[in-house]
Amino acid sequence: MERRAFLRNTAAATVLPAFINGFSIKAFGESPLLQAMERAADNDHVLVMIQLVGGNDGLNMVIPLDQYAGYVQARANIAIPQGSVLKLNNNVKAGLHPSMTGMQQLYNEEKVCIVQSVGYPSPNFSHFRATDIWTSGSDADTIEYTGWGGRYLDYKYPNYPVGYPSDDMPDPLAIQIGSIVSPAFQGANTNNGIAISSATDFYNLVAGVQDPVPNTYAGKELSYIRLIANQADHFSTVIKKAALAAPTQGDYPDNYLAAQLKIVARLIAGGLKTRMYMVSMGGFDTHASQVDGDTTKGQHAGLLGDISSSVKAFMDDLKKIGASRRVAGMTFSEFGRRIKSNGSMGTDHGAAAPMIIFGDYVNQGVLGNTPPMPTQVSVADNVPMQYDFRSVYASILEQWFCVPSTDLKKLLFNDYQSLPLMSGIACGTVTGIDDVNAAGEHMITNYPNPFTDKTTITYKTRGGFTMVQIFDTMGRLVGTPQQGSQPAGQYTLSFDASRLANGIYYARLQNNATQDVRPMLKVKG
């Protein structure tokens, strides 16, 4: 790349050079969620996203108590002892890893919702591509160059950054803490963020000084880049003001995630109107040594303990400063792990995994059933998807940021389920949806099961949009025999698997906001 092009492209991506407590801060104009919050004049809601980099093992985070025998059979060398699993109020199907006492307390205080088996059809098991899919909100077979947040911001603020900061929005629209600019905030034309790699940069910003540049040709280039960055930076002053205005904070554990969340709380407490924050932690690619002798200890236990204690400290801090009702958070990872553990006391790349949503206005509960555990589990078996991850995005946009439901398809390319994640108080809507599986009723079944070539699927719908999908154990979508609006009632359809290999398949029913998954076994005739 020519020097002039390099400088031009660098300048276009520069918005906020700032640093706090050793972490780089990046402001983005491309956050869809941020704009959504701006829709209502009195809506000051904030979303904090926690990215678990590497692929989190959801089965050892949210343990399937009602499928416990199958769980132990599938992963005897890493299974959490049943007596050590943390119990959840009003839920006997699932419990938390024993290191997550802080998250258990938040759940029992009715501030946590766990969404089971979140994924997408035909998942990709590459870290890079899977991350692209999650941050862009695209289908697995589609390359999308904008982020789901960036698309919303382009839609809501088509002229950004022209005219900003403004009286209505004097602060950054979104801030990421860390050194990697998330594709989630990429707009159609630009990504308005910059990373700072030196731990002294924030203090230099506060003191109004700048690191000297080397007396070399490269130093001249660096000096010029800094000049452009300072010209483009509208938000350094407000970041500095908010950081200095924050009251004394509460105690946080000594870990990387807690340090990031402490910064977020500090900026919120200092009065920043920023709508979305993103933080991250790595280490979740646990192919080996996931546990350490005692299966409740080890690498994964440490990671889950850090998530739990950090989020608990963060929520306690927000409550102390009177800002907890402004904030909701969520965890996400690019994929989960396989049902069966490997011989290295670890787990390999898998499909669906649970997400945790937290906040004062979050509806307490565990959405969905615990994943079914095959009787004869193989190394290829994946947790079948119950919820599409874009359903979580759509629900947060609608129920937390008050985005009209009619606008969601423009941002996410399709219509997705509305899940009861948030109290209706947040946006003045009703989000309480009955759990159709609360009484153990299955909405979809098949007979015969096992079957040889064909089986009859029977399903119930309450009316409206109804979809039946068939997945294999790799999470690949092999058929959609029903998709469209149907009157309420019971229906049957024939599934012809004569051209498919023998093995386990999953029939998934989606009816508006509810869903159910049924394992089916094809055997040799």
Tens digits of residue pLDDT in 392-434? 999 998 999 888 899 999 999 999 999 999 998 888 654 444 4
Residue 243: per-residue pLDDT: 80
Q: The dihedral of CA 458, 486, 412, 274: what is its sign? A: negative
Q: The dihedral of CA 363, 364, 365, 367: what is its sign? A: positive
Residue 203: per-residue pLDDT: 36
**Category of 382 on φ-ψ map: left (φ > 0), alpha (ψ -120 to 50) or beta:** beta
67-97 per-position pLDDT tens digit = 999 999 999 999 999 999 999 999 999 999 9
Domain 444-522 CATH (choose: 2.60.40.1930, 3.30.420.40, 2.30.30.90, 2.102.10.10)? 2.60.40.1930
Distance from C-alpha of 521 to C-alpha of 400, rounded to nearest angstrom:
40
Q: Residue 288: pLDDT above 80?
A: yes
Distance from C-alpha of 444 to C-alpha of 176, rounded to nearest angstrom:
42
Strand partners, 331: 50
Residue 32: per-residue pLDDT: 42
User: Average pLDDT in the 505-519 region?
Assistant: 90
Is residue 394 within 8 Å of 408, Cβ to Cβ?
Answer: yes
The CA angle 406-277-337, to the nearest 5 degrees, is: 85
Considering only CA atoms, which of 390, 8, 23 is closest in space to residue 190? 8
User: Average pLDDT in the 251-272 region?
Assistant: 92
Q: Which pLDDT band, with edges at 50, 70 and 90, does 107 fall under?
A: very high
Q: Which helix (H) or strand (E) holds 309?
A: helix 299-320
Q: What does pLDDT average to over the chain?
A: 83
Instruction: Give the alpha-carbon dihedral of 290, 295, 296, 300, to 10 degrees.
Output: 10
Provide the residue ranges of all domains of the chain, joining segments of one domain with +.
43-350, 444-522
Instruction: Tell me the Cα Rg of the chain.
Output: 24
Q: Provide the token pair at 335.
A: 């994929």
Q: How far is CA 167 from CA 14, 112, 170, 273, in A?
A: 22, 35, 6, 12
Q: Residue 273: pLDDT above 90?
A: no
User: Average pLDDT in the 325-339 region?
Assistant: 97
- pLDDT higher for 380 or 36? 380
User: Average pLDDT in the 364-370 region?
Assistant: 94
Q: Residue 208: pLDDT above 80?
A: no
Residue 77: per-residue pLDDT: 96
| pTM of the predicted protein model | 0.82
Using a 10 angstrom Cβ sphere, with 0-12 exposed, 13-18 middle and 19 or more buried, the burial of residue 301 is buried
Task: Give the lowest-confidence range in 79-83, 125-129, 191-195.
Answer: 191-195
Q: Residue 179: pLDDT above 60?
A: yes
Q: Residue 206: pLDDT above 80?
A: no
Residue 26: per-residue pLDDT: 45
Residue 30: per-residue pLDDT: 43
For the chain, the first-to-last Cα distance in angstroms comes to 62
Distance from C-alpha of 349 to C-alpha of 333, rounded to nearest angstrom:
12
